[in-house]
Amino acid sequence: MSNKNMFKWSFDNPPKLTLKQKFYRKMRHPFRKRKYLAHQFQKWFGIDSLAVMMRRALERANKTLEVIPTDIIKKRAMRKHLYGAGRFALGVVTMAKKAKKPLPIKKYHRIAAKYFHIKNSMYIDIAYGAVAANICLDSDPVWLGLVGPSGCGKTDTIESMNHEKYIRKVSQLTPNTLVSGLHDGKKSLLPDLDGTIMTIEDISPLLSTHRDAARKVFGQLRAMYTGHYIADYGSGVKKLEIWSKFGIVFGVTEVIDIHKRMLGPLGERFLFCRFPILSRDDRLKMARKAQKLSKIGQTKKKQNLATLGNNIINDIVCYRDKKTKTPELTEQQHEKLVLVADLVSRLRTHILRDRYTHDPAYDLQPETPTRLVQNLESVIQGVAILYKRTSISRYAMKCGYKTAVDCLTGQNQKLIRFLIEKYPKGTSIKDIHVNFGVVNKTASDWLEDLFINKITLRKETPTHDSWGPKTIKTYTIDKIYIKLMRELFSE
């Protein structure tokens, strides 16, 4: 029998076939061929079915396995010709891309980019990462401030945080907003904040009021940070005791830097995320986006962003309700985060000086990094939860480092970058005077603060000029910090 007519036979006169011919005849049917391939894969790789093989190939490709049900894998595996493990991986990855739903935070990025120009979307992830940390983690609350100029998008980001149970919007803060001395504190806002995140669109009006009022509000918040607040009032209530743990996300302009110098020595409780500095092209792009948005309508924009924000928070709540294991930092990531927290806590320690002599008022020890490292770790874990990661990614660590650097004032960041550029030659007071446009006394205070906090080394060189002998002081970053500083302040 010729090869052409090998399979042309009738039931009346069936041909006599060899074992090899019977095998080829059997394998002509697609389903039988797939079944034979499955048997061979079980023999070669020790697997039970095509579905398991495809899942293992998908695991090698670092794709998610939960988005494709097993029955879909089996049905599609029987319909396609798959030759080898590489073809399996290619087919399953394609199926994963079709079946996988986009993360709510990524959808927020895409929609928000239509409404306003976003130079760097990291601030959105940090803001919602703080929300995720407050909802999912059993740790100290995360109080985050979004710092940027007017019109940069911080108000839109905070307004989009919308949830009936977990978000509490407050328009403004006064000394009597959170706690009232009447009726045993039952009409106070503080008990209702327990387990929620308080959002404030802009606290700049509070900072522009009398300094004592602002100091009183921040003093109350500092006392409420631990979740236990005790106060005495003269209205007949001898003692008011409230247990309430809550997070805060607020917007503020750069005026906060002035008050940070006043409130910093009393203990930091806040983290900050600063919007990127905009170039002229970025400002023009933002203006064009705003002009186009006037045709769409502000109401529609706010509704769409609020819906997206609600979806993000619902997704975070579902993650918590599933009791998924919280992503943890590795030992290497922990160690580096500790070094970053130690450096930033030294850099943001403000030295109080005498009003007349400008000498340090007292021997102030630098802030210990205990609280800062815990807050930064919470933000990093919150970003990982936002992206449904089982481990801490490089991007999540980068968000934590940015939050740490943004805890410093804008002027302090510029000063550190200038010192890094001058390393190892060193920086003198005259260099600061020329490049920053400040008087010599101010330049001297800036550099001396870093020296007192043991960030820089000081070298005194005697010299002479027409006025007589004098000493030139040169400040250089300590070599134990230079590598880490270059990495943190590279952007």
pLDDT of 32: 55
Q: Which residues contact 358 (CB under 8 A, 6 or more apart)?
A: 441, 445
Q: Do residues 181 and 292 both lie within one domain?
A: yes
Q: What is the mean pLDDT of the chain?
A: 79
Residue 65: pLDDT band by 50, 70, 90 thresholds? very low
Instruction: Of 23-37, 62-76, 236-250, 406-420, give the lowest mean pLDDT range.
Output: 62-76
Q: How far apart are CA 447 and CA 433, in angstroms?
A: 11
Count of domains forming the chain:
3
Per the domain annotation, does 14 fall within a domain? no
Long-range contacts of 299-303 (CB under 8 A, 24+ apart): 301/115, 301/156, 302/156, 302/159, 302/160
Integer CA distances (angstroms), 366 to 236, 279, 313, 349, in order: 42, 35, 37, 6
Mean pLDDT of 105-125: 87
Mean pLDDT of 44-64: 55
Q: Do residues 391 and 275 both lie within one domain?
A: yes
Per the domain annotation, does 357 fall within a domain? no
- DSSP secondary structure letter of residue 360: B
Per the domain annotation, does 162 fall within a domain? yes
Per the domain annotation, does 269 fall within a domain? yes
Q: Which tokens go with 327? A: 């992503």
Closest CA to 70 of 44, 99, 42: 99
Is it the case that residue 123 has pLDDT exceeding 80? yes
User: Residue 68 corresponds to which amino acid?
Assistant: I
Q: What is the CATH number of the domain that holds 456?
A: 1.10.10.10
Q: How far apart are CA 136 and CA 106, in angstroms?
A: 20
Backbone angles phi, psi at 389, to 5 degrees: -90, 145
Consecutive H or E run containing 212: helix 211-224
Mean pLDDT of 120-134: 93
Taking each helix axis as running N to C, give the angle between helix 30-45 and helix 70-79, from 0 to 180 degrees, rounded to the nearest 10.
120
Q: Do residues 425 and 292 both lie within one domain?
A: no
pLDDT of 262: 59
Integer CA distances (angstroms), 12 to 9, 15, 405, in order: 8, 10, 87
Q: Where does a domain end: 405, 428, 457?
A: 405
pLDDT of 485: 93
Q: Do residues 207 and 302 both lie within one domain?
A: yes
Considering only residues 304 and 100, tell me which one the structure prediction assigns the higher pLDDT: 304
Residue 219: pLDDT band by 50, 70, 90 thresholds? confident
Instruction: Of 16-25, 74-83, 210-219, give the lowest mean pLDDT range.
Output: 74-83
- What is the value of pTM for the model shown? 0.76
Q: Where does a domain end: 405, 431, 456?
A: 405
pLDDT of 228: 83
Q: Which tokens go with 25? A: 């005849």
Beta bridge partners of 168: 198
pLDDT in tens, 409-451: 888 999 999 999 999 899 999 999 999 989 988 899 899 989 9
Q: Do residues 438 and 375 both lie within one domain?
A: no
pLDDT of 21: 65
- DSSP secondary structure letter of residue 174: -
Q: Do residues 161 and 275 both lie within one domain?
A: yes
Q: How far apart are CA 380 and CA 31, in angstroms?
A: 49
Q: How far apart are CA 220 and CA 419, in angstroms?
A: 37
Q: Do residues 401 and 413 both lie within one domain?
A: no
Q: How far apart are CA 276 and CA 118, in angstroms?
A: 9
Considering only residues 180 and 95, tell me which one the structure prediction assigns the higher pLDDT: 180
Per the domain annotation, does 313 fall within a domain? yes
Q: Do residues 121 and 88 both lie within one domain?
A: no
Residue 38: pLDDT band by 50, 70, 90 thresholds? low
Number of helical H runs and strand E runs in the chain? 20, 10
Is it the case that residue 54 has pLDDT exceeding 80? no
Domain of 250, in residue numbers: 105-339+366-405
Mean pLDDT of 70-82: 48
Integer CA distances (angstroms), 149 to 152, 275, 291, in order: 6, 8, 19
pLDDT of 78: 44
Alpha-helical regions (H) of 423-478:
429-436, 440-452
Q: Do residues 81 and 138 both lie within one domain?
A: no
Instruction: Of 126-140, 224-238, 295-309, give the lowest mean pLDDT range.
Output: 224-238
Residue 26: pLDDT band by 50, 70, 90 thresholds? low
Per the domain annotation, does 279 fall within a domain? yes
Backbone angles phi, psi at 252, to 5 degrees: -160, 155
Q: Give one DSSP letter per residue of 169-196, joined into a string.
A: EES---TTTS--SSGGGTT-SGGGGTTS
Q: Where does a domain end: 347, 377, 405?
A: 405
Closest CA to 227 of 198, 197, 181, 190: 190
pLDDT in tens, 375-414: 999 999 999 999 998 899 999 999 999 999 999 988 899 9
What's the longest Cα–Cα distance across the chain?
125
Q: Do residues 332 and 413 both lie within one domain?
A: no
Alpha-helical regions (H) of 9-166:
19-27, 30-45, 50-60, 70-79, 84-99, 104-115, 122-136, 154-159
Backbone angles phi, psi at 67, to 5 degrees: -80, -15
Q: Do residues 289 and 140 both lie within one domain?
A: yes
Q: Do residues 91 and 172 both lie within one domain?
A: no
Q: Which residues contact 335 (CB under 8 A, 6 or more apart)?
A: none
Considering only residues 85 and 154, tell me which one the structure prediction assigns the higher pLDDT: 154
Closest CA to 475 of 414, 405, 420: 420
Is 247 strand, coil or helix? Answer: strand
User: Residue 195 corresponds to which amino acid?
Assistant: G
